[in-house]
Amino acid sequence: MNFETKTSGISDTPEAPDKASTTVERRSFLGVVIGGITSGIGAALALAIGRFTVEPALADSKTEQWVDAGQLTDIPEGKPVKRAMTIVQEVGWGRFHEPGSVWVIRNGEAITVFSAVCPHLGCSVNASAKGFICPCHQSSWDGAGAKTGGPTPRNMDTLEHRIENGALLVRYQSFKQGIAEKETV
Amino acid sequence: MMRAALEEPIRGGARWSYVFGSGLAFLVALQAITGIALSVYYVPSSDHAHASVAFIQKAVPAGALLRGLHHYGASAMVVLIVVHLAQVFLFGAYKTKRELIWVTGVVMLLITLAFAFTGYLLPWDQAAYFGTKVGTSVAGEIPIIGEIQRRIMLGGSELTTLTLSRFFTAHVFLFPVALLLLIVTHIFLFRRAGAAGPFHHREDHRVESFYPRQMLKDAVFMLALFVALAALALKWPADLGPQADPSSDYLARPPWYFLPLFQLLKYFPGQLSLIPTVLLPGALFAALFLLPFADRRAERHPFRRPIATGILALSLAGTVGLIALSKYEDRANKEFSTRFKEQEEASRAFLKSKFEPQVIGQVLAATPGVGVAPTSFGENCAVCHGDRGEGADSAPSLIGITNKPNRTPEDLLKILNDSRTYGLKEPMPASFDLSEDEKRQIVEWLKKLK
């Protein structure tokens, strides 16, 4: 490539030599204009894409809902049972009907419902001989959901419930993981 | 390298007529950026593609803008690439040392059309589905290899979710890589040969570097393109009709850049259709490819190359003429124009309506002859009244309900608003958190239960 003629913007023009300083000023001014235009377009796109990707991610999620956990008569006395249910989650473009589960313990009239999600890192909690255990990191709880060992920061998360026409209705919720307090997401 | 790029010598000085190449590079970058953004939400599957595009268009912040930029940017690319090629042709800039620059440019025109063709299907709305169906059938008419080629394009014998997947793969993986390689080659060859300069050679002694004046002109042009595309996207949101329904009798038309081909097809019935579908485009591109090798005279002035200039003028006029004629014939035909009006109306109504998330995983039993209950019924009523409104221990059957006293459709709407005024007790909820549309859908469906 031929690069002999390019230190000033325009060469070979008769007025170039005596206007050298104005040419340099003009070059830098045009440079600012070019920079302004390109960064303007870039900023507009960055703003749009930022809103596009970030805003929906920060919006409140709607996992909280009352769900049917089956007939009370199907729940045996004294030992934890896992109840499957359908959780409806509105996520982006879909309203997803997905399987969910909770742990239920019945002692006569008294019913306790626990979230099956481990408060440590979100694995699924299993029942054990002494109550509950999380198979991922060996967190354990007694039958009342009180923490007995492992890395879990808190007791098992209880869920509100009510009885309607003999059916157990559970207020399904998600809680923040890894902190000592029970806080909804 | 930066320095070399900025100080590229331009023979004859900076000109507005040189902005088209840079404009195209800008559009390619814009398509890539907006395309990557859209892929954050888009799902390339026939059962979710439309819902995900509707979500982008109606619900995601800046979604209509980004999709609009991508949509109109595609058309702008086709226009600009034709302008760029026409200009290079007119100014004779494909001659002497620049043959390969021209050839890579023509290949990029083909790839741009392939991008447009595959991208058109992705929203999976009525226009996309039926437009692509016709388009792939046209490709299937090529003798000998036609049917095999059609099947490979479709991923089977029909236009299905597999077609959508492979169009997506081509659109976001294959074509971008091919285009990128061609752009690099194109610019490398261009830089090596240097700018052709004006065809009259009167100012060949005057050499100016790319920076700053040509670069400024390019930047101003890019800004104008960006502002124009953004304005279009915001003022006239990119089209999105109702989801593709293969059983409907949708009247399909290709996007505007394929209309010349579509119009020609009308004049060549039966076996003759190979003339517009294969022979004419084949001849056109063969001519474009061979042009710099066939025309080896050094003369570049358009007025001193009357044949070349005449061919260009005729082809452009013919293309524009065919597009106009196709539009005119559709408008003049009463039946078609009514249909198009209805389809446009449906499309506009869909675009304007509030975004409704697609219901996934809910299984409702259908009533023969009546169909599945609306989603809102499934979520609010079916637990007690049954999927088909057949009733259960805790709730009565709803079959034939509109024939019962105080249960006209109007009554049913009122019951959904306040069931207690009709004396209904627990476990029937006093009211439902439903939109007016959803309530109407439920009542419409109940009317059909006989």
Cα gap A44→B229, rounded to integer Å:
13
Comparing A19-23, B223-227, B364-368, the range with the smallest average pLDDT is A19-23
Q: What is the pLDDT of residues B18-34, one digit of tens each?
A: 899 999 999 999 999 99
pLDDT of residue B359: 86
Judge whether B47 and A43 are in contact, CB under 8 Å: no
- Give the pLDDT of residue A22: 67
Q: Over 50: is that where the pLDDT of A1 sits?
A: no
B368 touches chain A (CB under 8 A): no
Of B51, B206, B220, the CB nearest to A94: B51
Task: Please give the pLDDT value at position A2.
Answer: 41
Task: Give the pLDDT of residue A6.
Answer: 40
- Residue A21's pLDDT is 65
Contact (CB<8Å) B61/A55: yes
- The sign of the CA dihedral B307, B309, B311, B317 is negative
Sheet containing A140-142: order of strands: A126-128, A131-133, A140-142, A147-149
pLDDT at A19: 54
ipTM for the predicted complex comes to 0.81
Is it the case that residue B190 has pLDDT exceeding 80? Answer: yes
Handedness of CA B32, B34, B39, B44 (dihedral sign): negative
- The H or E element that residue B69 is part of is helix B63-90
Write out pLDDT tens, residues B400-437: 888 888 899 999 999 998 888 888 887 888 888 888 88
Confidence of residue B389 (pLDDT cuts 50, 70, 90): confident
Confidence at residue A20, expressed as pLDDT on a 0 to 100 scale:
58
Residue found under tokens 């240097």: B194
Determine how many CB atoms are found less than 10 A away from the CB of residue A35: 11
Domain residue spans of chain B = 2-352, 375-448
Of the listed ranges A35-39, A164-168, B129-133, B347-351, the one predicted with least confidence: A164-168
Mean pLDDT of chain A, nearest integer: 86
Query: Residues, chain A, total?
Result: 185
Segment B319-337, tens digit of pLDDT: 999 999 999 999 999 999 9
CA distance A69 to A99: 12
The answer to whether A90 and B59 are in contact (CB under 8 A) is no
Of A94 and B209, which is predicted with more confidence?
A94
CATH fold of B375-448 = Cytochrome Bc1 Complex; Chain D, domain 2 (1.10.760)
Partner A, chain B 151-190, Cβ-Cβ below 8 Å? none
Label residue B450 by pLDDT band (50, 70, 90): confident
- With an 8 Å Cβ cutoff, is A42 touching chain B? no
Tell me the mean pLDDT in the region B351-358: 92
Chain B CB within 8 Å of residue A32 CB:
no
Using an 8 Å CB-CB cutoff, list chain A residues near B33: 45, 49
Cβ-Cβ contacts under 8 Å for B337 (sequence gap 6 or more) = B330, B331
Give the span between the Cα atoms of A163 and A99, in whole angstroms. 21
A92 at interface of B, judged by CB pairs closer than 8 A = yes
User: Among all residues of chain A, which has the CA nearest to that of B39?
Assistant: A53
pLDDT band at B84 (very low <50, low <70, confident <90, very high): very high
Q: How far is A176 from chain B (nearest CA, A)?
A: 25
For residue A97, which residues of chain B lie inside 8 Å, CB to CB? 359-362
Hey, how many other C-beta atoms are within 10 angstroms of the C-beta on B201?
12
The b/e string for A37-69 (b: 16+ C-beta within 10 A; e otherwise) is bbeebeeebeebbebbeeebeeeeeebeeebeb
Which fold does the domain B2-352 belong to in CATH?
Cytochrome Bc1 Complex; Chain C (1.20.810)
Q: Which residues of chain A make contact with B359, given a CB cutoff of 8 A?
A: 94-95, 97
A10 → chain B, closest CA residue: B208
Q: B13 and A53: CB-CB below 8 Å? A: no
Q: Is residue B371's pLDDT more than 80?
A: no
Specify whether the CB–CB gap between B193 and B98 falls below 8 A.
Answer: yes
Supply the pLDDT for residue B429: 86
Residues whose CB falls within 8 Å of the CB of residue B147, separated by 6 or more in sequence, listed in order: B140
If you ran DSSP here, which 8-state letter would residue B213 be given?
I
* pLDDT value of residue A121: 95
Task: Work out the minimum CA distance from B67 to partner chain A, whole angstroms.
Answer: 11
Q: Which residue is closest to A55 within chain B, CA to CA?
A: B61
B240-281: pLDDT as tens digits:
999 999 988 999 999 999 999 899 989 998 888 888 888 988
Tell which wins on pLDDT, A92 or B367.
A92
Task: Name, in order, each residue with C-beta under 8 angstroms of B345's C-beta and a sequence gap of 6 or more.
Answer: none
Name the DSSP class of B258. Answer: G
Q: Is B427–A48 a contact, with Cβ atoms under 8 angstroms apart?
A: no
- Whole-number CA gyration radius for chain A: 32
What is the average pLDDT across B94-110? 91
Least confident of A160-174, B36-50, B125-139, B423-437: B423-437
| Interface check A45 vs B, CB under 8 A | yes
| Beta carbons within 8 Å of A163's beta carbon, 6+ residues apart | A72, A111, A169
Stronger pLDDT, B381 or B112, i.e. the higher one:
B112
Give phi and psi for A175, each to the nearest 5: -120, 155
- The per-residue DSSP string of chain A comes to ---TT-SSSB-S-TTTGGGHHHHHHHHHHHHHHHHHHHHHHHHHHHHHHHHHHHHHHHSPP---EEEEEEEGGGS-BSS-EEEEEEEEEEETTEEEEEEEEEEEEEETTEEEEEESB-TTT-PBPEEETTEEE-TTT--EEETT--EEESS-SSSPPEE-EEEETTEEEEEE--B-SSSSS--B-
| pLDDT, mean over chain B | 90
Q: Is this model's pTM higher than 0.90 or not?
A: no
For residue B105, name the pLDDT band (cuts at 50, 70, 90): very high
Q: What is the pLDDT of residue B277?
A: 85
Asked if A1 and B4 come within 8 Å (Cβ–Cβ), the reply is yes
pLDDT score recorded for residue A176: 93
pLDDT in tens, B114-128: 999 999 999 999 999
